[in-house]
Structure 1
Amino acid sequence: MEKIALSPEVSLSRLVYGMWRLGDDENTSPAHVQAKIESCLAQGITTMDQADIYGGYTAEAILGAALRAAPALRDRIEIVTKCDIVAPAGRHAAARVKYYDTGAAHINASVEASLRDMATDRIDLLLIHRPDPLMDHHETGAALDALVASGKVRAVGVSNFRPWDVELLQSAMTAPLVTNQIELSLSAHAGFTNGDVAYHQRKGQPLMAWSPLAGGSLLSGADLRLRDALHRIGAEQGTDWSAVAVAWLLRHPARILPVMGTNSLERIGRLSDACRVEMDRQTWFELYTHAMGHEVP
């Protein structure tokens, strides 16, 4: 599978395995998690996407248990994780309200917890999970720069930031912000016209796309014509509709990295089907037209 270079130090697989729901599986044993990772690796999917908040602050430790049981896996994967969301759960159960914290103390504490929980000595890519209205960009930028300099974090980026949020934080940093993980799919396509994708494409920064299948609800909320087109194209190319929907993102020249989340070993084994779907310009616009509900102007 193609690898996408985000920086001289960090390259990610074109498809990323998302561990948002890792703790929702009935089986969270190290052996079962290892089986998921091995299935990804067999397809060339080497990047695992985490966040401290996933699973109510439990998903990182579930991954860590698998890496402790099979330590050789760590050098075969890239770990992406995120911080700054504080929700009343897990280690933050005493919080009165859900909030964001981009202060240096919180970022450093989050990184130390992530390193410990995931049984690793470095995070390949750390993302600030959500824009913080109270962010002191000088403090946040200095904290991220220090983490990169320390080697605990190899590269840094953001998630759900708008272009002006990226510019603000980057203005106070030496290390580059190498990516932005945003929602992109056939049901969340505003980024292709509101400047989000164009901003990063102009800067040559690959984007990560969360919920490329709208959290699994893409078909249920889609126009009948979109559903029919996805099924038809999938059948024509010997795969299913989900591979076609992800291929729609892969077709874009911005070098989008879809983050694919599922607990089904059978579905994990088919994630790379999306890379084999051929999609010409008219097919891309056919799906886009149905997703919008009207033809382009």
Structure 2
Amino acid sequence: MADEQHVSPASADIRDHRLIYGCMGLGGGWDAEPYGAPEIAAAEAAVEAALEIGVTAFDHADIYRNGKSEAVFGEVLARAPELRRRVLIQTKCGIRLPGDEGPGRYDLRAAHIERSVERSLTRLRTDVIDVLLLHRPDPLADPDEVAGALTSLYRQGLVRQFGVSNMAAPQIAHLQAALDVPLVANQLEISLGRRDWVEAGVLVNTAESTGTGFPLGTLEHCRAHRIGLQAWGALARGRFTGAARTPADREATERVAALAEAKGTTPEAIVLWWIQRHPARVAPVIGTARPDRIRACRDAARRDPELTREEWYDLWIIARGAPLP
């Protein structure tokens, strides 16, 4: 593991973390094949790189790689037991993959939540989950039943904090009304490539507003109720750091590179700074499994965003490929 001087003790509150490492890429394939020494070594290398740049929050889900992402992370913890006190572990439940029991679906029944937490604790080799997110809204969920399950997990000391993922403001408010324990996080797809989190607000009263899928008012609700926003897909799958798809992507890539050179940082940091510059204080989740690319995100973990208002707007307009209304 990283030297002591490079590792900061993890804050117990997920809202204190400005950058999160997403573990979905760890553990091998999405099939049922078991992981082995190569997958454990790759997980150790990714965790080491994240710790080196100052990231101490690690994001999981019970379904990632069919549970293997949590399991290889548990192997890493088992090999370095002192690491557990230095990291915050966040995981999710509520998605069921297709199989013999039925189609791919969402399940926020109390029994499924409790069973998922039990299995995650076993795979992660820990006695407590720091943060549990409900992965997707379940249309058949009973808020009182969900609240009862979460409250029980909290009182047993099995989960410290709770949040949601991919939920809109009314859904969060509806659940919170049944729950005494506060919801502290909402994880959404947010990036320079997925811009409707800012587009939804500025396209009000325009014909373009029907083209955004982001629920208007969600950012404002989360800010008003101290619900930390997390951005999954924050690096936009490399669209602005070498994997451009469109002419606008290519132009934005050039602008990102120029800004990185001018500010003495990396293109990855610029892409993440664009998210972090927003006053909602969004925490990007970086999902690459490559240690070199994790290290390229260093300045997003260690430096405040160094984009001016003009640079932020310029990058937005270039990436969207059209002027603002």
TM, length-normalised to structure 1: 0.91
Q: Distance in 2 between matches of 1:229 and 1:185?
A: 16
- SS of the residue corresponding to residue 291 of structure 1 reads helix
Query: Which residue in the other structure is 1:22 paired with?
Result: 26
In the TM superposition, what whole-angstrom CA distance separates every residue of 1:131-187 from its partner, at most 9, and x where no partner exists? 111111110111111111211000000000011110111111000110100000111
User: What letter matches 2:105 in structure 1?
Assistant: Y
1:122–1:153 Cα contact (<8 Å) kept:
yes
Of residues 78-87 and 214-223 in structure 1, the stretch that sits farther from structure 2 once superposed is 214-223
Are residues 1:163 and 2:169 paired?
A: yes
User: What letter matches 2:312 in structure 1?
Assistant: W
User: What letter matches 1:257 in structure 2?
Assistant: A
- SS of the residue corresponding to residue 132 of structure 1 reads coil
1:2–1:71 distance in 2 versus 1, CA, 3 Å? closer
Are residues 1:244 and 2:247 paired?
A: no
Q: Distance in 2 between matches of 1:115 and 1:228?
A: 44
User: What letter matches 1:221 in structure 2?
Assistant: R
Identity %: 38
In the TM superposition, what whole-angstrom CA distance separates every residue of 1:186-237 from its partner, at most 9, and x where no partner exists? 1112122232222212223220000012233454235133222111111212
Query: Which residue in the other structure is 1:200 paired with?
Result: 222
Size of the alignment, in residue pairs? 291
Unmatched 5+ stretches in structure 1 = none
User: What letter matches 1:22 in structure 2?
Assistant: L
User: What letter matches 2:126 in structure 1?
Assistant: T
Query: Which residue in the other structure is 1:211 paired with?
Result: 233
Aligned ranges 1:7-86 → 2 under 5 Å: 10=14, 12-24=16-28, 28-86=38-96
Deviation of 1:257 after TM superposition, in Å, equals 0.6
User: What letter matches 1:23 in structure 2?
Assistant: G
> Which of 192, 197, 204 lines up with 1:191 in the alignment?
197
2:61–2:70 Cα contact (<8 Å) kept:
yes
Query: Which residue in the other structure is 2:205 paired with?
Result: none
Q: Distance in 2 between matches of 1:4 and 1:42?
A: 13
Query: Which residue in the other structure is 1:221 paired with?
Result: 245
- SS of the residue corresponding to residue 289 of structure 1 reads helix
In the TM superposition, what whole-angstrom CA distance separates every residue of 1:48-93 from its partner, at most 9, and x where no partner exists? 00000101222111111111111111111000100010002xxxx4
Of residues 74-83 and 191-200 in structure 1, the stretch that sits farther from structure 2 once superposed is 191-200
Q: Distance in 2 between matches of 1:2 and 1:14?
A: 13
In the TM superposition, what whole-angstrom CA distance separates every residue of 1:92-142 from its partner, at most 9, and x where no partner exists? x42320011100000000000000000000000000000111111110111
> Which of 263, 279, 282 lines up with 2:310 in the alignment?
282
- SS of the residue corresponding to residue 160 of structure 2 reads coil
Q: Distance in 2 between matches of 1:294 and 1:82?
A: 37
User: What letter matches 2:288 in structure 1?
Assistant: T
